[in-house]
Structure 1
Amino acid sequence: MEISYERKIDLKLILSIIATGLMSFTGVVVETAMNVTFPTLMEQFNVGTSTVQWVTTGYLLVLAIIIPASSFLKKRFMTKHLFLFANIMFIIGTVLAATAPSFSLLLIGRILQGIGTGIALPLMYNIVLEQTPLNKLGLMMGIATLIIAVAPAAGPSLGGFIVYSFNWRMIFIVLLPILVLSFFIGLFSIRQVRPTEKVTFDWFEYVFLAIGFTCFIFAVSFAGIMGWGSFQVIGLFVLSIISLVVFYRHSKKNDAPIINLHVLQYKSFSFSVVALMLIQFICLGLGFLIPNYAQIVSGKNALVAGCILLPGCILGAILTPISGRLLDKFGAKKPILIGITFITISTLFYSIFALNMTILLFVLFYILFGIGQSFSTGNVMTNGLKQLPEKMNLDGNAVFNTIQQLAGAIGTSVVSTIVSTAQVKLPDDLAAATMLGSRNAFILLLILAFIAFFCLLRVLCYISSKKI
């Protein structure tokens, strides 16, 4: 089947991005909204910090497992069919989570949502990469990222308002009309611009990748309960490393690997991947730390805790397409440097003031982070993909999206483990323990911001040297 398509921005492209973007939006909204509900869920289901964080970590882990298959799925199946399947899975998961009588069923609902988002998120970026004129790629990637960037602004404030005014189940119920709207927009707008291929799927490779990711996340999560030196935690880390090594060695010999690791041979792309991974780690880490600090340490209600992130997320969402346009006009250097500088300054302030935080300081520092994220995330991804041959864009997109979700899962799990460890050491003073644990986590995020800064300097220096 031959399909002829001229790259252009038309109504169907816009509606396709909106349809897939709405699904991705609901995924991020519920992910960040649930962070605000953790104290409530801990009380209702009688679970601790290290357990309740699996509402987010489990969801992100499923994304990290599903997204590596996105390149295969996009080549093998019709784009519209993938979208409709993802949407239906998300709706089923949402209904189950909304009605869950136990924590385990809530977690199953979140896993089904993760399957839906894991398909929809890379699908949105693949549609942009396939159909957008190359001279408008930064702008359209910025618009696609804007849809995702708005979600962290809506998530915590929506979650806080709903928990304060109703109950946490309403968070899922209000998403259903958005998902239905997304379903019908996608049904009539998503088109096929490339023929499908009868590519094979290497289950051996995929299973070892999934085992590696899963064991790593479980090891980090259990460390907060059993200790980093426990036999179980060390055993999980070892099993994770062995599984990932098997995956790596097998994929290098495979002519059609699940994730084409040949993209990592391009140094500027590889450093971009590491930087984006660290930025996502920081983002999800802050998303966990700030609402919980506000409620447990500062004694604020869920509504106030949820609204702390709102100004920074809104400003970041507004700036995201503008920063993409700057990349199209002036290149990657300035917007990316502005972004990572603001992120580093933000994490520095959180580290310095961690033991004396007020709501105002949380808001101000997160505004700095929101500016940094808007100038960095989409542009790092766009610039990184530009360093690859066009035929590798699907593979590069799969790597970026996989790493982002894995980093988010690790970020949430690691910072919750750090806080949980402090709470175990000071069981009689939950507020003081949470404050100390948060301080330690903020310091870790600062270190990661410096590493991301270094990686992006390497990327920009490499690009400059190629132009000379």
Structure 2
Amino acid sequence: MNKKLDTKLVMAIIATGLMSFCGVLIETAGNITFPVLMREFHVNMATVQWMTTCYLLMAAIIMPLSAYFKKNFAKRKLFFIAALLFLLGLIIDASATNFILLVSGRALQGAATGIALPLMFNIILEQAPSNKIGLLMGIGTMITAVAPALGPTFGGLVVNSLGWRYIFIFIIPIIIIALILGIIFIKNIDQQSLKRTKLDLHGFISIALSFAGLIISFSNLATIQQQPVKFILPLILGVICLLYFSRHELKTNQPLINIRLLQEKQFTQGLSAYFLFQINTLGLSFILPNYVQLVNHQTAMIAGLLVLPGGALGAICSPISGRLLDQYGARKPILIGATLEIISSLLFSIFATNLTSTKIALFYGLTMLGIGLIMGNIMTHSLSLLPTTQNADGNTLFNMMQQFAGATGTAVISAIMQLVQQKSTATLATNKTIAGARAALIVLVVVVFVGIYLLHKATCTKK
């Protein structure tokens, strides 16, 4: 039976989505500001990257708590706390007098996103009519997907005309609007079902240390030849803590995340595909601006404008693809998106030595159209394979994977490019950059093919 779409529900989704949108917008806009910040605060490239790394790390650490938050706190209160944290982070960043304060503000914004993003999807899964879930998941995905498309252009315009502080100042009114919308439209329909459960402190500390170790390790991957210890030690810490977390969660009566749901094979395949396609998207978002500026000798503004149409296309496609899922099931739109991903990744690798502005805009448009058909739908489909009682845990895992891919994907692709450039025998810096970009694009072809195989398996009808 078809039910009408509740306007209040849509506004609640927009309120929670705006916070995630702003977090990612600042992240991608901030990349444009790195040279300016390095000069102003007298820090190097490895240090300035903590603007992004700290944000993603805090979001990844907070997200495992989303199932616990759901059981113990009303949704409106959670959102109110997240909005205040984000506002405080923006005020600190807009007025920061040193780099430590700047990173602290980003950490608060990451914590806020870690609360708000899972909250948005939990609201959809709990309150949306069954025949509208795909559409609303698409709207949620679209809100967050628009940000990477707008970020570089927004950052370039603001930095060139007003200065980097205005990136944070312009976001403050958006968060205030989100806060007002959330207070008005987020319903506490679960108020009666709240129960005080004990926080799995051992689980939380171990997964937090695991994420910290792995993210710091991958952030140091580019310097593995010069300083291997900075890569190896955090990696060992991350792996040990992850193994401890997995063992502990299977033993405890009140796990932080019910990881037993990973025994559902198709859910795990969908989750893994989601992770790989996120890495592909973020990898391209690192390769292409560098290629445009260092190989094609265009400005950062041009680099941002070239990826803007593709990013916008993918974002607009997300709710449409969700509607296709509601009507025809998940497999058809996902496999159409997979086909576009194959075509675009092969085109990028084939033309890697001669990527003109036209080719970049066209190939990236195909990539993002494919992503728009895949990401929201594979999440919706995978969560539908779980019992309703496990949706919060499944949602947590998807959001954790998104943030972890964000923290590691760019670092890995950056390291591949730098290592190939160091090994290249080319005499010109431009040719070294082309060699690094080509190697990274070939790696992404492999990532896409593995992801497509997992998509096929995840959406097959069970016999």
TM > 0.5: yes
Q: Distance in 2 between matches of 1:419 and 1:50?
A: 15
Are 2:122 and 1:123 equivalent residues in the alignment? no
Q: In the TM superposition, what is the alpha-carbon distance from 1:42 to its structure 2 partner? A: 4.0
Residue number in structure 2 paired with 1:34: 30
Are 2:318 and 1:324 equivalent residues in the alignment? no
TM-score, with structure 2 as normaliser: 0.94
Q: In the TM superposition, what is the alpha-carbon distance from 1:391 to its structure 2 partner? A: 0.8
Residue number in structure 2 paired with 1:204: 202
Deviations 1:360-414 (A, max 9, x none): 2211111011101100000000000010011111111001111111111110221
Q: Distance in 2 between matches of 1:39 and 1:438?
A: 21
Residue number in structure 2 paired with 1:454: 453
Residue number in structure 1 paired with 2:67: 71
Amino acid paired to 2:166: M
Q: Distance in 2 between matches of 1:144 and 1:438?
A: 32
Q: Which moved more, 1:408-417 or 1:391-400?
A: 408-417
Q: Is the 8 A contact 1:90 1:113 kept in 2?
A: yes
- Unaligned runs of 5+ residues in structure 2 are none
Residue number in structure 2 paired with 1:100: 96
Q: Is the 8 A contact 1:343 1:373 kept in 2?
A: yes
Q: Distance in 1 between matches of 2:388 and 2:44?
A: 47
The Cα RMSD (Å) is 2.1
Residue number in structure 2 paired with 1:283: 281
Residue number in structure 2 paired with 1:396: 394
Residue number in structure 2 paired with 1:385: 383
- Unaligned runs of 5+ residues in structure 1 are 1-6
Q: Which moved more, 1:162-171 or 1:426-435?
A: 426-435
Amino acid paired to 2:462: S
SS in 2 for 1:167: coil
Residue number in structure 2 paired with 1:184: 180
Residue number in structure 1 paired with 2:238: 240
Are the structure 2 counterparts of residues 384 and 432 from structure 1 closer, same or farther at C-alpha, using a change threshold of 3 Å?
Answer: same
Q: Which moved more, 1:209-218 or 1:354-363?
A: 354-363
Amino acid paired to 2:17: G
Q: Distance in 1 between matches of 2:40 and 2:437?
A: 24
Q: Distance in 2 between matches of 1:112 and 1:430?
A: 39
Matched ranges for 1:19-418 at <5 A: 19-194=15-190, 195-227=193-225, 230-418=228-416
Q: Distance in 2 between matches of 1:20 and 1:214?
A: 26
Deviations 1:211-231 (A, max 9, x none): 111111111222212429823
Q: Distance in 2 between matches of 1:370 and 1:64?
A: 24
Identity %: 46
Q: In the TM superposition, what is the alpha-carbon distance from 1:258 to its structure 2 partner? A: 1.1
Q: Distance in 2 between matches of 1:278 and 1:253?
A: 29
Q: Distance in 2 between matches of 1:419 and 1:103?
A: 27
Q: Distance in 2 between matches of 1:164 and 1:82?
A: 37
Q: Distance in 1 between matches of 2:421 and 2:98?
A: 25
Q: In the TM superposition, what is the alpha-carbon distance from 1:174 to its structure 2 partner? A: 0.9
Amino acid paired to 2:243: V
Are the structure 2 counterparts of residues 31 and 15 from structure 1 closer, same or farther at C-alpha, using a change threshold of 3 Å?
Answer: same
Q: In the TM superposition, what is the alpha-carbon distance from 1:179 to its structure 2 partner? A: 0.5
Q: Distance in 1 between matches of 2:227 and 2:345?
A: 28
Q: Distance in 1 between matches of 2:422 and 2:35?
A: 16
TM-score, with structure 1 as normaliser: 0.93
Q: Distance in 2 between matches of 1:23 and 1:261?
A: 27
Q: In the TM superposition, what is the alpha-carbon distance from 1:439 to its structure 2 partner? A: 2.3
Are 2:423 and 1:434 equivalent residues in the alignment? no
Deviations 1:279-330 (A, max 9, x none): 1111122222222332233322222121121111111122111111111111
Q: Distance in 1 between matches of 2:62 and 2:6?
A: 30
Q: 453, 462, 465: which one pairs with 2:462?
A: 465
Q: Distance in 2 between matches of 1:101 and 1:280?
A: 34
Q: Is the 8 A contact 2:420 2:439 kept in 1?
A: no
Q: In the TM superposition, what is the alpha-carbon distance from 1:155 to its structure 2 partner? A: 1.4
SS in 1 for 2:358: helix
Deviations 1:244-283 (A, max 9, x none): 1000000011122111101111111000000000111111
Q: Distance in 1 between matches of 2:338 and 2:46?
A: 30
Q: In the TM superposition, what is the alpha-carbon distance from 1:133 to its structure 2 partner? A: 0.8
Q: In the TM superposition, what is the alpha-carbon distance from 1:39 to its structure 2 partner? A: 3.9
Deviations 1:172-231 (A, max 9, x none): 111111001111111111111112111111111111111111111111222212429823
Q: Is the 8 A contact 1:419 1:433 kept in 2?
A: no
Q: Distance in 1 between matches of 2:201 and 2:253?
A: 14
Q: In the TM superposition, what is the alpha-carbon distance from 1:46 to its structure 2 partner? A: 4.5
Are the structure 2 counterparts of residues 47 and 428 from structure 1 closer, same or farther at C-alpha, using a change threshold of 3 Å?
Answer: farther
Are the structure 2 counterparts of residues 258 and 415 from structure 1 closer, same or farther at C-alpha, using a change threshold of 3 Å?
Answer: same
Q: In the TM superposition, what is the alpha-carbon distance from 1:170 to its structure 2 partner? A: 1.7
Amino acid paired to 2:457: R
Q: In the TM superposition, what is the alpha-carbon distance from 1:429 to its structure 2 partner? A: 6.0
Q: Is the 8 A contact 1:164 1:302 kept in 2?
A: no
Q: Which moved more, 1:62-71 or 1:351-360?
A: 351-360
Q: Distance in 1 between matches of 2:436 and 2:35?
A: 16
Q: Which moved more, 1:431-440 or 1:254-263?
A: 431-440
Number of equivalent positions: 458
Q: Distance in 2 between matches of 1:431 and 1:170?
A: 33
Amino acid paired to 1:252: L
Amino acid paired to 1:106: L
Q: Distance in 2 between matches of 1:202 and 1:307?
A: 46
